[in-house]
A and B are shown apart, each in its own frame.
Chain A
Amino acid sequence: AAGVIQSPRHLIKEKRETATLKCYPIPRHDTVYWYQQGPGQDPQFLISFYEKMQSDKGSIPDRFSAQQFSDYHSELNMSSLELGDSALYFCASSLTPGQGAKNEQFFGPGTRLTVL
């Protein structure tokens, strides 16, 4: 079965540079979530989108922005990168309930961002 696709899988950037992470949800899934997991930490929710509109916002820095496109893929844009942004970034997708969904989120393999 198709899974959530994230690209790139690994990314190395310098401080103050920008980065763009991409997420391709499971086909027919209309909701996308972004999580950040720092070294030795648990995943922390950043932001989510439903039908191309922001649906919820967590601890996302103002330097970060995200959007969901008409094909439901999503991009997380990160500017003025800091050393502390080094982390695993996970994207998850889910299906609107009422379509046989169990409300679970399916997670992608993650993008490992290293800021030097």
Chain B
Amino acid sequence: DAKTTQPPSMDCAEGRAANLPCNHSTISGNEYVYWYRQIHSQGPQYIIHGLKNNETNEMASLIITEDRKSSTLILPHATLRDTAVYYCIVRVAYGQNFVFGPGTRLSVLP
């Protein structure tokens, strides 16, 4: 699997948009970009995933660059409950396990 690189930590003011970057410069053409988060020792929670088009759901938006070498997860209006470790993961096929890297520890500040 391709490796990802994320900043170790970020702060965001409550109510503002949180933009979490991820570099995956060695991603293969058939690999998806997944985002998960883990809130204080709870089970990781699926947020969103995409292949090459931008995606949006009720939780977040995912912006993938045209060359697919990087992406940005956007939480449009961060709340204190969004404080968590956010993992960007690339994966090629169904059935493969997820490889959780260091992730970004997002702190939403009041």
Number of interface residues of B (CB under 8 A): 22
Pairwise interchain contact A48-B95, C-beta atoms closer than 8 A: yes
Main SS of chain B's interface residues?
A: loop
Pairwise interchain contact A110-B43, C-beta atoms closer than 8 A: yes
Q: Kindly supply a per-residue 1/0 record for chain A positions 44-88, scoring 1 wherever the CB is within 8 Å of any chain B CB and 0 otherwise.
A: 110010100001101000000000000000000000000000001
Pairwise interchain contact B100-A44, C-beta atoms closer than 8 A: yes
- Write the chain B residue with the least CB distance to A98: B94
Which residues in A have their C-beta under 8 angstroms from that of B42?
Answer: 109-110
- Which residue from B38, B49, B87, B97 sits with its C-beta under 8 Å from A33? B97
Pairwise interchain contact A108-B97, C-beta atoms closer than 8 A: no
Which residues in B have their C-beta under 8 angstroms from that of A94?
Answer: 94
B residues contacting A by CB (< 8 A) are 32, 34, 38, 41-46, 49, 87, 91, 94-103
